[in-house]
Chains A and B, each alone.
Chain A
């Protein structure tokens, strides 16, 4: 039995959060459950010795993405929940559930038959300092880092442009009429 007790607790917490997030009726509740799941994953990372990744997970997912999702829910007036049956046993929904189950079955099968997973013994946690991560980012992975930075900037701009209000669709205010006159 190689799994520690804490690992089990955290795994259960993560999975329970994920199941809750995907099954609850009210969107806000879903988002909160998602936070629990993300936080559980972050704790799992810490448990596995990846402190930096765990903290980044906590910061980005719990701190930013979850909040972003809550905002999106509020802005799309989804806070009231999905009135018409969100889980109506429609053919499409059943097909989706079956597909997901099949994927799980295949993945479990892959893990069971994998030699790597079976051989992987419990080794001592590698001692990773921030210093090493910093060096790795600045030397070996500096190019991906730059690319990521560029991509983040582009995504930022893209998100702003997408979320901008289209002025032309609002003839109510005067500017649109003025533009029309000028044209």
Chain B
């Protein structure tokens, strides 16, 4: 079961007013109207995703009286690792004072990553490999974004989260999972020259052309907005239906839906399509934007803090995005 969640956002903020000065066709109020975002937090030049994740972990330890020495496994979901090697989770183990008897590894996923992380943690517990797992998520997409790319710079914010998952006798802690993958769309959300392949072919012929705003440089984030939007509309409603069926639930049995907090426009469209009532559909991105794999845990922590999410509630989580990859599950809070 999920025992506790904390999160951390970097100090520096990027407001719509600042962005509107760069993009004359997009006034600040228009950016907010479409994205639902007023400001996003941006990591400092010398601040990495693991720094943010370490701060989130320390908050978790402090806010919930958790001893780092009690952690048996550390998993870090990031697409902004400190190095290609070693694994960032190893550095975090040392930095956080997690015992050397703990396993630690990174996994590379974005918006679907938190659901995958819960799945991995559940598997480690079920397999008898660990009983207390620290799941960290953290990303700094801002470091990949071309400053003039209004379609990505308006959406993404940096951030990190820390979740403690514990073995529990409660049967319904973390329920059944739906996972899905469509690597055919890998090129639709990508930093092309970020790994060994160096330069990847963007799918200009196959699915519509260059980045929605500007040509991405090889080490910058490329997003084919229309393709990602279509992908989301295609996969999320069936994934939601499947995860409900698998867990023996109907829409009415669910107390809250927390989807990957992509942006207001996409979330509203998904909500209408899946006919989720507005009061059961949590959106909280105004001051942080789309924080990739941290968006679901940040939303959960905020929903708990503002009273929306109460003990005993049944919550459906759906993550979707870069990969292309998606995952859904049901948790009891």
Q: Do A and B come from one complex?
A: no
